[in-house]
Amino acid sequence: NAGVMQNPRHLVRRRGQEARLRCSPMKGHSHVYWYRQLPEEGLKFMVYLQKENIIDESGMPKERFSAEFPKEGPSILRIQQVVRGDSAAYFCASSPGTASGNTIYFGEGSWLTVV
């Protein structure tokens, strides 16, 4: 029973390029969350999605960032025109639902470096 799968694990992009991070939730989980962790800082919520719907994007920067979770395939976090400040670890997590007892499980993260 595979856990939350993220790829790529490490990604290097030049300033101005696009970064696409993928996340496949655990089997049976229909809720996906994306978090960002800057060096030496805590986890910051970005976006929460269900299949084909964005439920809460209150943590997403207003520009350049977008997320989707299509009916088929993984969730994608897309960062356009990357800047050095986007260098961070991006963690995806999934849960079976939103009930208060539902635990959220994390993937191993995608480390983005912008040069």
Partner 1 sequence: RKEVEQDPGPFNVPEGATVAFNCTYSNSASQSFFWYRQDCRKEPKLLMSVYSSGNEDGRFTAQLNRASQYISLLIRDSKLSDSATYLCVPRSWGKLQFGAGTQVVVTP
CB 107 within 8 A of CB 91: yes
Query: Binding to partner 1 by residue 1, rule CB under 8 A?
Result: no
Query: Binding to partner 1 by residue 55, rule CB under 8 A?
Result: yes
Query: Binding to partner 1 by residue 87, rule CB under 8 A?
Result: no
Please, what is the minimum distance in Å from the beta carbon of residue 4 to partner 1? 8
Residue nearer to partner 1 on the CB measure, 25 or 107 = 107
Strand pairing of 105-106 and 75-79? unpaired
CB 98 within 8 A of CB 31: yes
Q: In what order do the strands lie in the sheet with 5-7?
A: 5-7, 19-24, 75-79, 65-68
Query: Binding to partner 1 by residue 89, rule CB under 8 A?
Result: yes
Structure tokens at 32: 């996906």
Residue nearer to partner 1 on the CB measure, 52 or 56 = 56
Residue from the set 48, 69, 86, 114 that interacts with partner 1 by CB under 8 A: 48
Q: Do you know the residue count of the chain?
A: 115
What is the 8-class DSSP label of residue 96? S
Query: Binding to partner 1 by residue 26, rule CB under 8 A?
Result: no
Residues in touch with partner 1 (CB under 8 A):
33, 35, 41-43, 45, 48, 55-56, 59, 89, 91, 93, 98, 100-109
